[in-house]
Every structure is written in structure tokens, then in C-alpha cells.
Amino acid sequence: MAESKVRKAAAPATDKAAKKAAKPVAKPKKPESHLATVRRARKINRELAELYPYAHPELDFENPFELLVATVLSAQTTDLRVNQTTPVLFAKYPTPEDMAAAVPEELEEIIRPTGFFRAKARSLLGLSAALRDRFGGEVPGRLEDLVTLPGVGRKTANVVLGNAFGVPGITVDTHFGRLARRFGWTAEEDPEKVEAAVAEIFPKSEWTMLSHRVVFHGRRVCHSRKPACGACPIAPLCPSYGEGETDPEKARKLLKYELGGQPGQRLRPPAGYPGQAAAPGAGAGGAAGPGAAAGDGQGEVA
């Protein structure tokens, strides 16, 4: 009798286990093929082109030398802070020859607001002397020449080549690297490996503008700590959707710069920019302004 009760009591548990085992197990998603990744990546680029038809370098400059100097200064600070600093800098040292002859302490004082001013001053003095002595006072238009200059790596060189010489290049700053990984274009962390991986996905003619669009999106929508997923037009194409705020109303409050109704980073934005020009700030050391975050620039600290 007791044995019969035990059997009856065990039966329901056995039935449940059997039913549970019989349920189909969700199959893991198949890894995306390289072709699918390329197609999705290029669609993201097209969507970003529609969202940011006005994408541009966010450093104020008039010539290759000014862009080179501004990019070196942009390391570990905002482009806005650099733009508020360079008018005084270029008024005093308009050419490589002038800057190479600068008194180090005076140069340091002018660029102090950009941070790491001693290291940056050494780079500016060194690259200016190199331009004077080895390149006739002109910024070279080749990557292999630019990277020989003090304080200039591939990232800075690509900024200068793409925007001052029209030579296609991919600029892998912190924003670009972060989004390239979030978009599933690469899992690499090293900037040069990210550059190589992305270069295989997009035609060379797109490299410079792709860089601007991705950086714009990283600064305005796909932030490092709290991306505005719910306000992102390319969310359906992003495998990382959900890492940030998905509620549309809350996400819209996270938007920065012109998308958030705030000034941009340039004191002299190009024609067609839909936002406001940034304020000049107090002398060389004006405040970074709303929406600006430290380390927003694209340069490299020597």
C-alpha cells in the first residue's frame, strides 16, 4: 500500500520533468556572416548620413597647420575648449616658424586650459621645428611623414589628411572605437586594429565622412555611460540596443549639442550647421559649455 502511494506521488513530478524536457529549447542566434555585417554597417552609414548631413570636423581651423595644432591640443579635452584657446594661440604664432621660436613658458600659459599643457607644448614646439627644418614650413600631405612629427600618431594624421588634404582616412577616437564595437563592426580595442577592421567594410571614399558621422553620433546620442537608445534612429540596426535608456521621452532628454537644443563645439561652424555657434569663453580659458565632456577631442597626448 505504502509502495503504491509512493509511486502515485512520484508520477506527477516525473510527468512535469518529461514535459519540461519535451519543450523546444530556444536556439542560439547564428553569428552574423561577414556579408551581413557589411550590409548592415553600410546601411547604418546611410542612416547616419541622413541624420547628420552637416557632419564636419568640430575644430576651428583655416589651414593645415592650424588643424594639426588644434588636433594635438584636443587630446583629453573638448574641441570646444580647444576652439576657445586657439584664436589667441594663432594670433601670436601663425606659422610653424613662429611657434618653433616660442618661449616655452609663454606657449604653455596660452594652452594651459586644454590640459596636459607641458606635454602638449613640447609636441607643438617639436612639430613646428620639424616642419620648419624638414618640410620647408609646410604640413606634409602623407601619413608616413605626418607620423614622424612629435605628438602626431595615426589618429591625428588621419584627421589632418582627411580634412585639410582630402585624403581618405578613418579617425578612431574614443567615440568611433566605442560605436564600432557597439555596432558589431569589430571586437577590437586597439585603435589601429579597429581602423583596419572598419577599412575592410567601407569603401575608401567613405572613410573621412564615416568618421565624422560616427563621432557626431557618439557625442550626441550613443554616449559612453548612458546612450539614448530610445531616441536613436538606427536602433533597429544596432545589436547593442538596450544598453542605454530605451524610454523615448527619457532618452530625448539625454541628447546633446544641436539635437539637445545646445550650442555646438565650434565658434565658427560651417554653413549648413543647424545648431548654435559656441560662445568664445573668457579669453583662452573659457568654460567647456553644456553638453561637453572631458576627453571629447581626437588628438593624442605625447
Q: Active-site residues: which are they?
A: 155, 173
d(CA 230, CA 248): 4
**3-class DSSP assignment, residue 24:** coil
Q: Is 54 left (phi over 0), alpha (psi -120 to 50) or beta?
A: alpha
Angle of the 79-92 helix axis to the 64-73 helix axis, nearest 10: 130
d(CA 141, CA 270): 23
Contacts of 132 (CB under 8 A, 6+ apart): 96, 97, 100
d(CA 215, CA 179): 8
With the C-alpha atoms ordered 35, 38, 41, 45, is the resulting torsion angle positive or negative? negative
Report whether 171 contacts 154 (CB < 8 A).
Answer: no
Which is nearest to 58 in space by CA: 231, 285, 213, 222? 213
Question: What does DSSP assign to residue 81?
Answer: H
Report whether 299 contacts 160 (CB < 8 A).
Answer: no
Report whether 267 contacts 47 (CB < 8 A).
Answer: no
d(CA 67, CA 80): 14
Side chain identity at 113, as an amino acid letter? P
Q: What radius of gyration do the chain's Cα atoms show?
A: 26
